[in-house]
């Protein structure tokens, strides 16, 4: 109930104004970074269709640009849109100006600085190598500080509000702020080697578990809950009707925050826990459909009686379409988490197709709808061109459909070709590149679809620019009564009272999230206790460790996985299924999530050094039809032999059993191993100076991957034979 | 791999506790949301986004932020 409409006797209303300047800044940042994110997306899409688009420039290669694209899309584009929408709606729902203009400005410029830092580091290979959390430790700290600034500004506004009730949209914002903080801090724990280099605190399986707890819930609490909050505010505003069912919104909120964060274990439960636990995970994945679709239905049903606005108003059209794609993506997500479906879809292009149905279909479409509502309001004018808005809609929709359909076709084709076996149990397509060549036309179709989406975005920028230019900004003053006990109606229910106590409400929300987190994060944090340590698994040599850092720097994990699943065709194609013991020294883990190229878990020793040398110079020399970029700069950059010891020292602190003597002799050891590799290459006609170059270190690392595990298997076999002999005696 | 790690996990009570908590809380807020007594209140609350604070000319009342 609005406090203004209540009888306050002799009490006078207060006057105030909203800080819309900060909202405008975030709106401008949204469209600017959105264009950058889409341009990067289109660029890497064409790079996947043809390797020459990498232009032989290190900072333009796919492996470096892909993390920049994902960070720009999630944190720059969607992040700025979230802040714009929250700051606009939060003030109006609470009838109060933001807590501090200064904090708002620090928030804005701090966030832009973080984005610029990402743009200045990722293309240069400065990365942690953890998907969607690639930014190095100083930027991680900056993110934490700015997030706290945002939280103080947000909760401070709640404290000084003039509306007692906290509308459901703000519940979603609270869940977002609290959960993102927990996710970011836990996943970003790392130990610095230098100002721009660190190693993850976690290793191998534990790192994978923590990373995908973060990855799953980053989608939930950065790309879903804040946008649902925005949906609950902006759709009613756009159609001038209250939300279809406030009751449903309550159930939607509590169910979503409770289930979403602990539905994450369906990633873990895939071929993991005992049967009862798998069933539990499956049930909760299916349960996630209910709150997701509850929200979608609530949003769409809010349009009851005004469906004609979907035809006439670009903002409503975009919002309705966003909800439709939200429904599709949240159906597909749980579907993909089902074990048998996941066996087909994992590591294929189906996954990027699913992800983009969410980020373009749900996030971009909703942002477009919100901006078409917001910009005319902020600049006090009318939308420049509804016709252009509708044309933009069709460009975006057609482009998205081209993207998603091409990735479905590519993903299913890949999966079927990877797993195809003949009657003799041999692979029908033993050469991985055959499957790449087959789906390349789909990569072209995806790139063209992405271009359509980019064009639609440029149309929106033009439309919004013309709209803002035609507007005239006026300082508007509002009035509202301060809240006191009289704003709480007689016989208020306990929950109603609770809503008036935002801090306690926030704590309860946090508890709901933490209970769910416990299911996934507790076993994750304790995982290393359950990994059997095997003496045959040795730490990387100094040169291999540095070579691994090059692997991380070049973003090889964006196209190559390093884990063989216990599936028949994978074992036939790559070798023995991976085991947890193999990765105990991998800070960070490098399993990847996509196989544009083949898995590398068993690549060590498979080819001679010369094969790798040629492969890094030009992959087409050894694999006709390969899409991999050339890495010429690895042949010119010298190995910093003296910088390897500090890396080993940090690894030692993280539990990798390097002795002090090994660390002191790191440089000499690395030089010796480099010389050995170079000698073999020189015999094949390579110049002798190659022994000091980065490519040798990378070859050393590649040749080491999976090698130790081979000796474990031999030991076990030998051990079994000994047991058999002992029993016979 | 995850399987071999999590198979050794010795806290099966953890998901069970969470499941019980979820069921109890879910029942509680469904009951609360669908209580007939709260219907009128929810209808009023749902109007909050549509009830903008009245605009006035600057300086006519107590100035506050």
Are A564 and A718 contacting, i.e. CB atoms less than 8 angstroms apart? no
Element (H, E) at A725: helix A707-728
CB contact under 8 A, B21 and A160: no
- Do B48 and A254 lie within an 8 Å CB cutoff? no
Interface test with A, best of B2, B16, B47, B51 (most A CBs within 10 A): B2
pLDDT for res A696: 98
Q: What is the C-alpha separation between A439 and A463, in angstroms, rounded?
A: 37
Render pLDDT for A14-33 as a digit per residue (tens, 0 to 9): 999 999 999 999 999 999 99
pLDDT band at B59 (very low <50, low <70, confident <90, very high): very low
Question: The tokens 């679709």 sit on which residue?
Answer: A293
- In the prediction, which pLDDT does A70 show? 97
Query: Chain B partners of A233 at a C-beta cutoff of 8 Å?
Result: 49
* Local structure of residue A678 (DSSP, 8 states): H
Q: Which two tokens stand for residue A569?
A: 């065709």
User: Closest partner residue to A251 among B29, B56, B63, by Cβ?
Assistant: B29
User: Would you call A515 and B48 a contact, using CB atoms and an 8 Å cutoff?
Assistant: no
Contacts for B6 with CB less than 8 Å, ≥ 6 apart: A268, A272, A273, A277, A523, A527, A530
CB-CB neighbors (< 8 A) of A496 in chain B: 41
* Nearest by CB: A237 against B11, B49, B61: B49
Nearest to A495 among B30, B32, B44 (CB): B32
**Cβ B5–A243 below 8 Å, yes or no?**
no
Q: How confident is the model at residue A217, as a pLDDT?
A: 83
Chain A positions in Cβ-Cβ contact with residue B47 (cut-off 8 Å): 2, 242
ipTM of the complex: 0.81
CB A619 within 8 A of CB A626: yes
Instruction: Say if residue A351 is exposed, middle or buried (CB neighbours under 10 Å; 0-12, 13-18, 19+).
Output: middle
Do the beta carbons of residue A701 and residue A547 sit within 8 Å?
A: yes
DSSP A99: S
Q: Which of A228, A212, A214 is nearest to A175 (CA)?
A: A228
Secondary structure class of A271 (helix, strand, coil): coil
Residues B33 and A245 sit within 8 Å (Cβ to Cβ): no
Q: Where are the alpha helices (DSSP H) in A575-693?
A: 609-617, 644-653, 660-664, 666-683
Q: What pLDDT sits at residue A255?
A: 86
Q: Output the pTM of the full model.
A: 0.91
Per-residue model confidence (pLDDT) at position A399: 98
Q: Using the beta-carbon criterion (under 8 Å), do A15 and B8 form an inter-chain contact?
A: no
A 10 A CB-CB count for A109 gives 12
The model's pLDDT over A481-539, given as tens digits with 9 standing for 90+, comes to: 887 655 555 565 565 555 556 666 667 777 767 766 666 667 667 766 767 778 888 99
Residues B24-43 have a mean pLDDT of 84
Residue in A89, A512, A579 nearest the CB of B1: A579
Between residues B46 and A714, the one the model is more confident about: B46
* Of residues B6, B14, B49, nearest to A236 (C-beta): B49
Residue with tokens 């994902």: A70
Question: Running DSSP on this structure, what letter comes out for residue A641?
Answer: G
Q: Do A578 and B9 touch (CB under 8 A)?
A: no
Q: What are the residues whose beta carbons fall under 8 Å from the beta carbon of A723, sequence distance 6 or more?
A: none
Taking the CA of residue A713 and the nearest CA in chain B, the distance in Å comes to 15
CA A440 to chain centre: 25
Q: Which residues of chain A are modeled with pLDDT < 70?
A: 1-10, 261-283, 484-506, 512, 515-521, 523-524, 527-528, 530, 710-729
Comparing B18 with A454, the larger pLDDT belongs to A454
Cβ(A490)–Cβ(A416) below 8 Å: no
Which conformational region is residue A9 in: left (phi greater than 0), alpha (psi within -120 to 50 degrees), or beta?
left
CB–CB of A519 and B48 under 8 A?
A: no
Nearest CA in chain A to B52: A92
Residue A723: the pLDDT is 37
Contact A124, A115 (CB under 8 A): no
DSSP character at residue B60:
S
A231 to A226, A257, A300, A316: CA distances (angstroms): 9, 16, 10, 11
Q: What 3-state class would DSSP assign to A1?
A: coil
């Amino acid at each position: 109930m609005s406090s203004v409409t209540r009888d306050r006797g002799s009490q006078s209303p207060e006057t105030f104004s909203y800080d819309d300047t900060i909202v405008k800044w975030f709106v401008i940042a949204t469209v600017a970074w959105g264009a950058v994110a889409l341009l990067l997306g289109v660029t890497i899409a064409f790079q996947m269709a043809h390797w020459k688009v990498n232009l032989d420039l290190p900072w333009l290669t796919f492996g470096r640009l892909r993390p920049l694209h994902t960070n720009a899309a999630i944190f720059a584009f969607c992040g700025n849109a979230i802040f714009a929408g929250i700051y606009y709606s939060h003030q109006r729902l609470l009838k109060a100006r933001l807590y501090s203009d200064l904090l708002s400005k620090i928030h804005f410029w701090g966030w832009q600085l973080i984005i610029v830092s990402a743009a200045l580091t990722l293309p240069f290979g400065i990365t942690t190598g953890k998907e969607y959390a690639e930014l190095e430790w100083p930027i991680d700290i900056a993110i934490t500080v700015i997030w706290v600034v945002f939280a103080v500004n947000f909760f401070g506004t709640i404290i000084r509000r003039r509306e007692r009730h906290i509308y459901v949209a703000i519940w979603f914002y609270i869940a977002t702020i609290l959960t993102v903080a927990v996710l970011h801090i836990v996943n970003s724990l790392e130990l610095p080697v230098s100002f721009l280099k660190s190693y993850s605190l976690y290793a191998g399986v534990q790192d994978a578990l923590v990373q995908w707890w973060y990855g799953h819930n980053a989608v939930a609490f950065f790309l879903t809950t804040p946008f649902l909050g925005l949906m609950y505010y902006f759709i009613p505003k756009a159609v001038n009707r209250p939300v279809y069912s406030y009751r449903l919104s309550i159930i939607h909120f509590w169910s979503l925050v409770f289930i979403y964060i602990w539905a994450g274990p369906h990633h873990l439960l895939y071929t993991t826990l005992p049967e009862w636990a798998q069933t539990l995970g499956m049930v909760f994945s299916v349960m996630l459909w209910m709150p997701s679709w509850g929200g979608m239905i609530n949003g769409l049903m809010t349009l009851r009686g005004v469906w004609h606005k979907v035809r006439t108003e670009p903002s409503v059209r975009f919002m309705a379409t966003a909800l439709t794609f939200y429904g599709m993506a949240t159906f597909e997500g749980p579907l993909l988490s089902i074990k048998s479906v996941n066996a087909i879809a994992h590591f294929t292009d189906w996954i990027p197709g699913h992800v983009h149905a969410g980020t373009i279909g749900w996030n971009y479409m909703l942002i477009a709808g919100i901006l078409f509502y917001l910009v005319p309001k902020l600049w006090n004018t009318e939308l420049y061109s509804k016709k252009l808005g509708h044309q933009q809609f069709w460009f975006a929709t057609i482009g998205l459909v081209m993207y998603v359909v091409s990735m479905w076709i590519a993903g299913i084709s890949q999966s079927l070709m990877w797993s195809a076996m003949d009657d003799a149990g041999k692979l029908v397509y033993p050469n991985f590149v055959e499957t790449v060549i087959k789906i390349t036309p789909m990569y072209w179709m995806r790139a063209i679809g992405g271009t359509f989406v980019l064009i639609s975005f440029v149309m929106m920028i033009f439309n919004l620019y013309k709209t803002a230019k035609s507007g005239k900004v006026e300082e508007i003053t509002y009035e509202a009564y301060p809240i006191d006990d009289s704003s709480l109606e007689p016989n208020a229910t306990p929950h109603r009272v609770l809503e008036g106590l935002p801090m306690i409400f926030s704590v309860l929300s946090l508890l709901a999230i933490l209970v769910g987190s416990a299911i996934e994060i507790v076993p994750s944090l304790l995982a290393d206790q359950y990994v059997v340590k095997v003496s045959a698994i040795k730490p990387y040599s100094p040169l291999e460790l540095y070579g691994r850092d090059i692997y991380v720097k070049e973003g090889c994990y964006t196209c190559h996985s390093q884990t063989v699943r216990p599936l028949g065709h994978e074992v036939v194609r790559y070798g023995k299924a991976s085991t947890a013991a193999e990765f105990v020294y991998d800070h960070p883990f490098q399993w990847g999530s996509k196989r544009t190229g083949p898995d590398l878990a068993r690549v060590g020793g498979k080819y001679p050094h010369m094969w790798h040398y040629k492969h890094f110079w030009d992959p087409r020399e050894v694999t006709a039809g390969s899409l991999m970029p050339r890495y010429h700069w690895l042949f010119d950059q010298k190995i910093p032999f003296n910088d390897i010891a500090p890396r080993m020292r940090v690894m030692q602190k993280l539990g990798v059993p390097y002795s002090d003597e090994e660390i002191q002799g790191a440089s000499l050891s690395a030089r010796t191993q480099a010389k050995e590799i170079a000698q073999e290459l020189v015999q094949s006609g390579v110049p002798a100076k190659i022994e000091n170059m980065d490519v040798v270190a990378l070859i050393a690392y590649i040749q080491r991957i999976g090698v130790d595990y081979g000796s474990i298997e031999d030991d076990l076999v030998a051990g079994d034979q000994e047991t058999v002999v002992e029993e016979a005696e | 791999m995850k399987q071999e790690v999590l198979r050794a996990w010795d806290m099966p009570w953890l998901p069970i506790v969470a499941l019980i908590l979820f069921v109890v809380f879910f029942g509680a807020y469904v009951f609360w949301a669908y209580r007939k007594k709260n219907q009128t209140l929810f209808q009023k609350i749902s109007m909050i986004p549509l009830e903008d604070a009245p605009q006035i000319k600057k300086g006519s009342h107590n100035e506050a932020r």
